[in-house]
Amino acid sequence: MKHLTILVPEGKGNNISSIAGAYKIFSRANDFRSLNGSRPVFTIELVGLSGSATFYDGLFSVRPHKQLREVKSTDLIIIPSLNHAFDEALKQNSELVNWLKEQHAKGAEIASICTGAFLLAATGIIDGKKCSTHWAAADELRKRYPTINLQPDLLITDEDGIYTNGGAYSFLNLMIYLVEKFYGRETAIYCSKVFQIDTGRDSQASFAIFNGQKRHGDDLVLAAQEFMEKRVAEKFSVDGLCDTFRIGRRSFDRRFLRATGNSALEYMQRIRIETAKKALESSVETVAEIMYGSGYSDAKAFRDVFRKITGLSPAEYRLKYQQLVF
């Protein structure tokens, strides 16, 4: 039988739901196998750095089955979501970094949930590899670990035995994905039905809120961003922006991309689409009116950019988010 390690990191702000959820789903998968006359796939153990970890200001605690030093080898490791105070979280769990590297070198596969990607990235294991995390933490992860191939729109990544997922409760989709990989399709469908988890999702793009990448320290780029955000509905050109700020196009393009991770044109597209999203969520304007108010005059171009950024058409987005109470 294989061994599954669900890590219990230190830190009061860590997410207990991703620990308990992973444990419940894999336990149910084992039970389903047993009921159908097959051996369970994994021995499942919660493993931590101490005998007990507390969560949410001491309201909850988890007592791991084993401490880290007791686990010499394992087959699959799940890293749960971390405290968003990343410096503190990484410092408190530095021992896990070396252990993860050792286990990976022995052949263990590793799955990170949400901001657990920060702990995974600290190992260097995913340098050059695809990785996702919560959309709200993507800029910080990119800043800290620029060598990873960050794919923040993807709900799940799978490369060379390393699995990552987007954010929050989308970890349930990753768990079903792993159950299918290790137990088979029948068990995965059973678990998805028992826990009522929608399958088939591959993107978290429609959930993302674009707040702009402004923690970069380049005052000129920051001024350009604010200038653009105040003129969403106006005609836009990068050359015109360069003239306004009296800077050459090549230099501006280089500085803007380095500071934000987007070209100026991509940035304007994202703030225009964010404007359209908010209008689709709350207003009674037609899609055409929202399109014009967001700076677009070509319906096809608007739909294409909207779908590229959110994964949905404007009409689909409105249907998904406009009415939440029935």
Burial class (CB in 10 A: 0-12, 13-18, 19+), 60: exposed
Domains of the chain: 2-206 (3.40.50.880), 219-321 (1.10.10.60)
| Confidence (pLDDT) at 224 | 96
Q: Using CA atoms, how far apart are residues 57 and 270, in angstroms rounded to an integer?
A: 37
Residue 40, pLDDT > 60, answer: yes
| Confidence (pLDDT) at 129 | 96
List, in order, residues 6 or more apart from 212 with CB less than 8 Å away: 225, 229, 260, 267, 271
pLDDT range class, residue 216, cuts 50, 70, 90: confident
Residue 200, pLDDT > 80, answer: no
Percent of the chain scoring above 90 in pLDDT: 81
Query: What dihedral do alpha carbons 87, 116, 42, 127 form, nearest 10°?
Result: -100
Mean pLDDT, residues 188-214 taken together = 86
pLDDT range class, residue 105, cuts 50, 70, 90: very high
Residue 12, pLDDT > 80, answer: no
Q: Using CA atoms, how far apart are residues 221 and 236, in angstroms rounded to an integer?
A: 16
Mean pLDDT, residues 93-104 taken together = 96
Q: What is the pLDDT of residues 53-93, one digit of tens each?
A: 888 878 889 999 999 999 999 999 999 999 888 999 999 99
Q: How many CB atoms lie within 10 A of CB 119?
A: 24
Q: What's the mean pLDDT when you consider all of the chain?
A: 93
Residue 326, pLDDT > 70, answer: no
| Confidence (pLDDT) at 263 | 95
List, in order, residues 6 or more apart from 310 with CB less than 8 Å away: 205, 206, 208, 273, 277, 317
Residue 210, pLDDT > 90, answer: no
| Confidence (pLDDT) at 190 | 96
Residue 103, pLDDT > 80, answer: yes
| Confidence (pLDDT) at 211 | 79
Mean pLDDT, residues 141-145 taken together = 93
pLDDT range class, residue 198, cuts 50, 70, 90: confident
Q: What is the pLDDT of residues 225-276, one digit of tens each?
A: 999 999 999 999 999 999 999 999 999 999 999 998 889 999 999 999 999 9
Residue 167, pLDDT > 90, answer: no
| Confidence (pLDDT) at 64 | 96
Q: What is the pLDDT of residues 271-320, one digit of tens each?
A: 999 999 999 998 899 999 999 999 999 999 999 999 999 999 999 999 98
pLDDT range class, residue 324, cuts 50, 70, 90: low
pLDDT range class, residue 100, cuts 50, 70, 90: very high
Q: Is 37 in contact with 77 (CB distance < 8 Å)?
A: no
Handedness of CA 251, 254, 255, 260 (dihedral sign): positive
Residue 13, pLDDT > 80, answer: no
